[in-house]
Structure 1
Amino acid sequence: MADFIGPRLYACYNCRNRVALHDDIVSKHFVAGHRRRAFLFSHVMNLVVGPKMDRRFITGLYTVADVECSDCGEVLGWRYEKVHEESQKYKESKTVLEKFKIVKDNW
């Protein structure tokens, strides 16, 4: 009898709280501060969204909110709340998680 293999997940590197599904990655070509790799996700889970703030990135001005693990409070990335540049609208309501702050779970 074969073992059931569930979805591939990502978890908080600090406490292993599951935060995203591999299948929800929109792009692996994002960069966080200090040239760190990051992934853009269409859906995330077990995260708390902080207060909204305006931030300027390479591609323009955005209204974003930091996202933190609901278990340990570690900031894992940010959520695009409002996108001002028309060419970047695909990011709106999506979440960026820094690669070094998430670990593979159930792979």
Structure 2
Amino acid sequence: MGRLFVVTLQGKIYRCKHCNTHLALYEDIVSKSFHCRHGKAYLFSKVTNVTVGEKEERVMTTGLHTVADIFCVGCGSIVGWKYETAHENQKYKEGKSVLERFKILGPDGSSYWFGREAYIGGSDADDV
């Protein structure tokens, strides 16, 4: 395996909660209204320092989508998923990535902790 190349971001940064690797910038958030098994999740127009897993079809609450899990390059933790193909009226998601708040640190260093109420409802990837 080769040497790990990690991009350093400047500004309000979301980081991996396990290894502090930079993942995304606050200004790249498209939507904060996503939910998953662990609670809140944010849709980003671009993320960095991730590897993309195998594509698979998943039925989510907004329909059938082709997605791939994304992993932190620093520690290998799964941090969310990327929309490869979105069906029906969800085309705006294609090429964008979702980071689960439970798995990342916010720009102020805060961590999102979920309680039982965080699982109520959801917009996508309840099975991720």
Q: TM-score under structure 1 normalisation?
A: 0.89
Q: How far does residue 104 in structure 1 lie from its aligned partner after superposition?
A: 2.3
Q: What residue in structure 2 maps to residue 32 of structure 1?
A: 36
- Superposed displacement of residue 105, structure 1: 4.1
Instruction: From 15, 19, 27, give the equivalent of 2:19.
Output: 15
CA distance in 1, matches of 2:84, 2:78: 16
How far the C-alpha of 1:100 sits from its partner, in A, is 1.1
* Residue of structure 2 in register with 1:3 after alignment: none
2:53 to 44, 50, 53: 50
Structure with more of its chain in strand, by fraction: 1
Q: What residue in structure 1 maps to residue 112 of structure 2?
A: none
Aligned pairs, number: 100
Q: Secondary structure at the match of 2:106?
A: strand
Root-mean-square deviation (CA, aligned residues, Å) is 1.4
Superposed CA deviations along residues 70-102 of structure 1, whole A, max 9, x for unmatched, are 0100000000000111x1101000000001111
Match of 2:84, SS state, is strand
Matched letter for residue 24 of structure 1: D
> Which consecutive residues of structure 1, in runs of 5 or more, have no partner in the other structure?
1-5
Q: Which runs of 5+ in 2 are unaligned?
A: 1-9, 110-128
Equivalence for 2:93: 91
